[in-house]
Amino acid sequence: MRNLTVSIFTLLFGLCFIGCDEISRERKNEVVKQLTEEELRQQLKNKECDFAQDYLTGKFEFRPIYRNFFSSKVKGVNFSCAIHNKATVATFKDVMIRVKFITKTEAVILDETFTIYDFVASNDTVNYSNEISMTNQDFEDIAEWSWNVVGATCN
C-alpha cells in the first residue's frame, strides 16, 4: 500500500511540474504576442541604432590632385565614398568615417575623421567626397590605406 501511495504521489507531482511548465510557455507566448507592430519596429530600430557601424557599409576610393595639368607633382588627394545603410528601419545622420594612410614602415601619413552631414535612410546610399592636402612625397610613400565607419547618429 505504501508503494502505491508513493507512486501516486510521484505521478501527481510530475504532472504538476509538466502542467506548470506548459502554463509558463503559454504566458511567454502571450507576452510576445502582446507587442504591437509599432513596438516591434521600435525594438528593431533601437537595435539598429545601437550598432550603427554594423549597418553602414560602402566603398572608398582616392586619387591624386596634381598641381597643374602638366605637372606630375601631387598637391593632395581627392577621396570619395559611397555609404550604404543596410538597416531595415533606422535612418542615420552625421556619419563619421575614419581615413588612414600608412607608409611601408608603418608610419602614419594621415589619420583623420570626417563627418558626412547628411541623412542615410534605410536601404539607401549617400555619396561623399573631400580633398586632403598632402605633399608629393607623402603621396608617393602611401603603402596601404584603410577606412571605416566609426559612428553615426540615429535619426
Find out whether 95 and 56 touch, Cβ atoms under 8 Å: yes
From the list 69, 124, 116, 60, the residue with the least C-alpha distance to 93 is 116
Beta bridge partners of 110: 101
- The per-residue pLDDT for range 85-140, each reduced to its tens digit, is 999 999 999 999 999 999 999 999 999 999 999 999 999 999 999 999 999 999 99
- The per-residue pLDDT for range 25-35, each reduced to its tens digit, is 666 665 556 88
* Local structure of residue 48 (DSSP, 8 states): H
What are the structural domains of the chain? 2-48 (no CATH), 52-154 (2.60.40.1620)
